[in-house]
Amino acid sequence: MNQIYLVNIADRPNFAQEDGEGNWIAPGGQKVPAAVLKNVHGISRYLGRGEGEDQSGPWVFFNEFSKGTIIDFHKHGSNRIEFLIEGKIAWREPGKEEKIYGPGTMSYVEANTVYGYKVLEDAKILLVFDDRPGYGIT
């Protein structure tokens, strides 16, 4: 049976640093390492199904990050698509030159690729993972 899933950003809570060690708790109880998100200023909302519901399929997040937010080098266990709605980002990969991009830019990152970025202007970002993201630091 086909299903349709509708959710509004305003109906989803912001992640919270809940474990007392600065780690964010992602959907399904997955811990996001504090080192990855230690310099995050803003919100991150998971737009997928709630606790106790089927967590298969794409994982979608909406982020609003303030200028100066830094996402340190890390990787994910699934493929990732990002669409920058507003703002400006300085994209970083180890050993490569920094790339700067603005609104309307889409990026695709294969699973286990190490990357990070700095928010140069207040940003709104839509992230889609093809499966549970899996978080790892390097």
Q: Is residue 87 part of a domain?
A: yes
* pLDDT above 90: residue 130: no
Residue among 106, 98, 108 at smallest CA distance from 130: 108
4 in a structural domain: no
- Tell me whether residue 70 is in a domain: yes
The mean per-residue pLDDT over the stretch 42-58 comes to 70
Q: Residue 125: which domain range?
A: 9-137
In a domain, 28, yes or no: yes
pLDDT digits (tens, 9 = 90+) for 7-47: 788 887 777 666 667 667 766 666 776 666 667 777 888 88
Per residue in 89-99, pLDDT (tens digit) is: 999 999 999 99
Q: Which residues pair with 126 in a beta bridge?
A: 62, 83
Is residue 1, in this structure, part of any structural domain at all? no
pTM: 0.82
In a domain, 59, yes or no: yes
In angstroms, the CA 90 to CA 93 distance is: 10
Q: What is the CATH number of the domain that holds 125?
A: 2.60.120.10
Is residue 5 very low, low, confident or very high in pLDDT (cuts 50, 70, 90)?
confident
Query: Which phi and psi angles does 27 have, rounded to 5°?
Result: -55, 145
Domain assignment present for residue 127? The answer is yes
Tell me if 2 is assigned to some domain: no
Contacts of 138 (CB under 8 A, 6+ apart): 73, 74, 75, 94, 114
- pLDDT, residue 27, reads 65
- Residue 50 burial (C-beta neighbours within 10 Å; 0-12, 13-18, 19+): exposed
Amino acid at 96: K
Note whether 12 and 43 are within 8 A (CB): no
What domain count does the chain have? 1
Provide the mean pLDDT of the chain.
83
Q: Which of 136, 34, 41 is nearest to 80 (CA)?
A: 136
